[in-house]
Amino acid sequence: MKISMIVGASALALAAGMANAQVNGQYKAAYGAPLALQTNGTGFGNAAGGDAFFAGGSELDGLYAYQSGGNLNLLFTGNLETNYNKFNVFIDNGSGTGQNQLDSSTFFGLNGNLSGLRFDTGFAATHYLSVTHGGGQSTSNGYGLFVNAGRVAAVGGNAVDGDYLGGNDGTTNGVLTGFGGNNYFNALVAVNNSNGAGVDGSGLGSGPAGVLTGIEIQIPLSSLGVASINGLKISAFINGQNFDYLSNQVLGGLAAGTGNLGSDGTGAGTGNVAGINFNNFAGEQFVRIPAPGVAGLMGLAGLAAARRRRA
């Protein structure tokens, strides 16, 4: 039986109803503790850090989440190389209507090279979002960020909404523009690549918990067909430029020492990722957003105590 990669629980209940913060790729107190931390060094290059836009490598150090103003807020700490590699996020809203094995013929806007990828048992993608960026090392020489997203149809269903949502130059607090304003998800996306710590090419480096910048996403819960973030499941990974070669940067994480998955799970490249089956790897390569309970109460108590100390 696989064991979830949950590391801790944010004070999700307290964060609900808080005013929306800027979407800028930086950690906010509302995120609380990480839901997952990376367990494996990066095989897609170790970014030196220091530049909000440019990165020479990719890593996923941690996942944080909170709910506010009817939105799901996600922060994936780390770096996304500015070479048009892809950051892929899949969400399971718990409806039971999603896909455990992707069939690209049933949804728009995501490259067909992802067709055939199989998630762990217990995860069925209902929504997706893909982020990429590049074009230059700053806004002054052509930097741009681009986002695709949409819904995943039920197995055997007809294609549903999904396509290019738009992009930005990294200075808009996550606002996406372009493609006729067709951001039907009403998503906000921002990347801050300034991290130079966290995991590296040989292992866990200085530790993933210390990284507080990365890819930040805000999606209205109504776009996901839910009223609360509790019960959502998230699977995320760094992919190649053509969606056809998975890195070893996955959340939930892979076992320490696991190399890039490539197209077939062994690092080979075959032109698509139909050979990837996350059931073949220990642990769950997805992260559960926990329902309120003991852990949530502990988070609330800790936050209340911190407030008393500051008073």
Kindly report, residue by residue over 63-94, the tens digit of the pLDDT: 999 999 999 999 999 999 999 999 999 999 99
Angle at CA 269, nearest 5°, toward 217 and 165? Answer: 25
Kindly report, residue by residue over 202-254, the tens digit of the pLDDT: 999 999 999 999 999 999 999 999 999 999 999 999 999 999 999 999 999 99
The answer to the question of residue 236 being in a domain is: yes
- Residue 156 is predicted with a pLDDT of 72
The answer to the question of residue 254 being in a domain is: yes
Distances (CA, A) of 245 to 79, 81, 114, 287, 309: 17, 14, 9, 21, 48
Asked if 242 contacts 269 with a C-beta cutoff of 8 angstroms, the reply is: no
- Residue 137 is predicted with a pLDDT of 82
| Domain total in the chain | 1
* Phi, psi (rounded to 5 degrees) for 298: -65, -40
Q: Which domain holds residue 226?
A: 12-310
Average pLDDT estimate for 166-178: 91
- Residue 129 is predicted with a pLDDT of 94
Asked if 251 contacts 76 with a C-beta cutoff of 8 angstroms, the reply is: yes
The answer to the question of residue 1 being in a domain is: no
Around 73, how many Cα atoms within 13 Å sit in the side-chain half-sphere? 27
The answer to the question of residue 122 being in a domain is: yes
The answer to the question of residue 142 being in a domain is: yes
Kindly report, residue by residue over 266-308, the tens digit of the pLDDT: 999 998 999 999 999 999 999 999 844 424 433 443 343 333 3
Q: Per-residue confidence at 180, pLDDT binned at 50, 70, 90?
A: low
166 in helix, strand or coil? strand
Average pLDDT estimate for 159-183: 81
Q: Per-residue confidence at 181, pLDDT binned at 50, 70, 90?
A: low
253 in helix, strand or coil? coil
- Residue 293 is predicted with a pLDDT of 41
How far apart are the C-alpha atoms of 240 and 254, rounded to whole Å?
18
The answer to the question of residue 2 being in a domain is: no
Full-model pTM: 0.88
Kindly report, residue by residue over 53-66, the tens digit of the pLDDT: 999 999 999 999 99
Kindly report, residue by residue over 105-145, the tens digit of the pLDDT: 776 666 789 999 999 999 999 999 999 999 888 888 889 99
- Residue 174 is predicted with a pLDDT of 95
- Residue 13 is predicted with a pLDDT of 37
Average pLDDT over the chain, rounded to an integer: 86
